[in-house]
């Protein structure tokens, strides 16, 4: 093992001589200047200023030098490292400021740009109207009942006293589920809920049933193969036509304001007597009748609008559902919801209600009275 170097040994100080140190500094400064990002500068720092950089390695040689040379080299290296570190610090500040401003430009958000609004839906006018109709009855203490759209033929027809060869039972009017003789139909009205309610619930019953119904109809401005009805059924002791009339008047007033109703005799297999319910035109109140100068679009200047069917529940229906007709009687009614929307909101074309254009729904939103 050799002892400490007493003599000035030029071989050992090569990395420490002024020229080499100057070259290291120059290389470091050049590398720092060339770095244009924080990441590049990090690499340049590792190469020129960190523990394994030439200047750091040179620094390690100092200890082996004789005293005077050690002092000179120490001063030189110290000064060089000072320059390198100062340059690094300066460049670091520049590069990160640059990077920040580049980022600010690249990620700039123009807060004045219009926001892309995600369109939100709207309650469909038919749904809104059905809810409103139900509310009128719920406020009078009635309940809301529901039944399936795919219905037993027996409940849709037989329980409601439709005779076996009633024309409504043909394929022309009714959509039968496969197989056609399987006894399942797409309900043609909400009236089967009458039978379901009587079979399911204890008496007395006061229910309304809103829902979708199906008929093998054309699809045009005034017909839809799928439409909506609201059914009402009351079965209690001592129910008369007077109760029916009063209920329909209350319903009409809640929906249309100060209007009267009238009944015209009609026939339905499940009510006896049966009637057609007309609504006094809530726009012209009859003033347009016989006055061509003053026509009314809502009632076609007829003064009355056909609204639905009603009647006293046929005892045969009550009996089919096990109700003692010596004690109980009832009334029922059924209205078309789409039709009601048509004359209530002047929607000219029923197809608008199924096309799903949100502008249609929005245009009627808030028109509820
Ligand atoms: N279900 C009948 C239809 O679709 C409407 C109807 C008439 C319902 C008289 C009733 C009623 O409850 O009593 O045309």
Mutate to test the pocket of ligand 1, among 267, 310, 337, 340 (most ligand atoms within 8 A of CB): 310
In ligand 1, which atom is closest to the CA atom of 311?
A: 13
Give the pLDDT confidence score for residue 251 in this predicted structure.
Answer: 97
Q: How far is the CA of 139 from the centre of ligand 1 (A)?
A: 23
Residues 253 and 318 in one domain: yes
With a Cβ cut-off of 6 Å, ligand 1 is lined by 189, 191, 231, 268, 271, 274, 309-311, 332-334
Residues 358 and 275 in one domain: yes
Q: What mean pLDDT do residues 95-112 have? A: 90
Write the residue with the smallest CA distance to atom 13 of ligand 1.
310
Residues 129 and 232 in one domain: yes
The answer to the question of residue 114 being in a domain is no
Give the pLDDT confidence score for residue 367 in this predicted structure.
Answer: 53
Q: Measured over all CA atoms, what is the biggest interatomic distance in the chain, rounded to whole angstroms? A: 136
Mutate to test the pocket of ligand 1, among 137, 186, 191, 205 (most ligand atoms within 8 A of CB): 191
Q: How far is the CA of 84 from the centre of ligand 1 (A)?
A: 97
Q: How far is the CA of 229 from the centre of ligand 1 (A)?
A: 9
Give the helix, strand, coil percentages of the chain, each rounded to 5. 45, 20, 40
Residues 36 and 143 in one domain: no
Q: How far is the CA of 210 from the centre of ligand 1 (A)?
A: 12
Write the CB contacts of 156 (distance below 8 Å, at least 6 apart in sequence): 185, 187, 188, 189, 191, 192
CA gap 91, 108 in Å, rounded: 25
Task: State how many domains the chain has.
Answer: 2
Q: How far is the CA of 354 from the centre of ligand 1 (A)?
A: 23
Beta strand pairing call for 143-144 and 205-214: parallel
Write the residue with the smallest CA distance to atom 12 of ligand 1.
333
Q: Give the tokens for residue 292.
A: 């061509």
Residue range of the domain that includes 150: 125-364
Give pLDDT tens digits for 196-207: 999 999 999 999
Write the residue with the smallest CA distance to atom 8 of ligand 1.
334
The answer to the question of residue 251 being in a domain is yes
Give pLDDT tens digits for 73-84: 888 899 999 999
CATH number at 312 reads 3.30.930.10
Q: Is the pLDDT of residue 9 over 60?
A: no
Q: How far is the CA of 275 from the centre of ligand 1 (A)?
A: 9
In ligand 1, which atom is closest to the CA atom of 229?
A: 4
Q: What mean pLDDT do residues 32-56 have? A: 91
CA gap 205, 220 in Å, rounded: 37
Residues 26 and 77 in one domain: yes
Residues 135 and 203 in one domain: yes
Q: Which of 263, 203, 260, 261 is nearest to 234 (CA)?
A: 203
Contact 246, 225 (CB under 8 A): no
Mutate to test the pocket of ligand 1, among 333, 334, 336 (most ligand atoms within 8 A of CB): 334
Q: Give the tokens for residue 3.
A: 């002892």
The 10 Å CB-count burial string (b at 16+, else e) for 54-81 is: bbbebbebbeebeeebbebbeebbeebb
The answer to the question of residue 68 being in a domain is yes
Partners of 332 in the β-ladder? 233, 311
Query: What percent of the chain shows pLDDT beyond 70?
Result: 95
CA gap 4, 162 in Å, rounded: 124
Give pLDDT tens digits for 144-174: 999 999 999 999 999 999 999 998 888 889 9
CA gap 310, 276 in Å, rounded: 6
Report the 10 Å Cβ neighbour count for 136: 18
Q: How far is the CA of 195 from the centre of ligand 1 (A)?
A: 13
Contact 156, 194 (CB under 8 A): no
Residues 50 and 183 in one domain: no
CA gap 6, 13 in Å, rounded: 13
Contact 296, 283 (CB under 8 A): yes
pTM > 0.75: no
Residues 58 and 148 in one domain: no
Residue 111 per-residue DSSP state: T
């Amino acid at each position: 093992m050799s002892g400490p170097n007493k003599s000035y040994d030029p071989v050992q100080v090569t990395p420490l001589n002024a020229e080499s140190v100057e070259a290291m500094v120059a290389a470091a400064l050049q590398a720092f200047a060339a770095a244009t990002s924080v990441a590049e500068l990090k690499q340049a720092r590792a190469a020129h200023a960190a523990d394994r950089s030439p200047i750091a390695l040179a620094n390690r040689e100092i200890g082996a030098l004789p005293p005077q040379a050690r002092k000179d080299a120490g001063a030189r290296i110290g000064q060089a490292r000072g320059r390198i570190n100062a340059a690094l610090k300066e460049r670091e500040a520049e590069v990160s400021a640059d990077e920040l401003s580049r980022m600010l430009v690249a990620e700039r958000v123009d807060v004045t740009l219009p926001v892309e609004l995600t369109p939100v839906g709207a309650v469909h006018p038919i749904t809104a109207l059905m809810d409103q109709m139900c509310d009128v009855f719920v406020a009078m203490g009635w309940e809301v009942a529901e039944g399936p759209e795919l219905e037993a033929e027996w409940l849709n027809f037989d329980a409601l006293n439709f005779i076996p060869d009633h024309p409504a039972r043909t394929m022309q009017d009714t959509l039968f589920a496969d197989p056609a003789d399987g006894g399942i139909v797409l309900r043609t009205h909400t009236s089967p809920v009458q039978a379901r309610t009587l079979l399911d619930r204890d008496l007395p019953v006061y229910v309304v049933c809103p829902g979708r119904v199906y008929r093998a109809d054309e699809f045009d401005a005034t017909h839809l193969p799928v439409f909506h009805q609201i059914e009402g059924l009351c079965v209690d002791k001592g129910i008369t036509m007077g109760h029916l009339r009063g209920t329909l008047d209350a319903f009409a007033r809640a929906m249309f304001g100060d209007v009267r109703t009238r009944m015209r005799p009609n026939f339905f297999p499940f009510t006896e007597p049966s009637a057609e319910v007309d609504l006094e035109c809530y726009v012209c109140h009859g003033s347009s009748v016989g006055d061509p100068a003053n026509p009314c679009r809502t009632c076609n200047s007829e003064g009355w609008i056909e609204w639905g069917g009603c009647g006293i529940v046929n005892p045969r229906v009550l009996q089919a559902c096990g109700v003692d007709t010596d004690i109980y009687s009832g009334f029922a009614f059924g209205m078309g919801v789409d039709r009601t929307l048509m004359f209530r909101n002047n929607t000219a074309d029923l197809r608008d209600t199924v096309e799903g254009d949100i502008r249609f729904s929005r245009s009627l939103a808030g028109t509820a009275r």
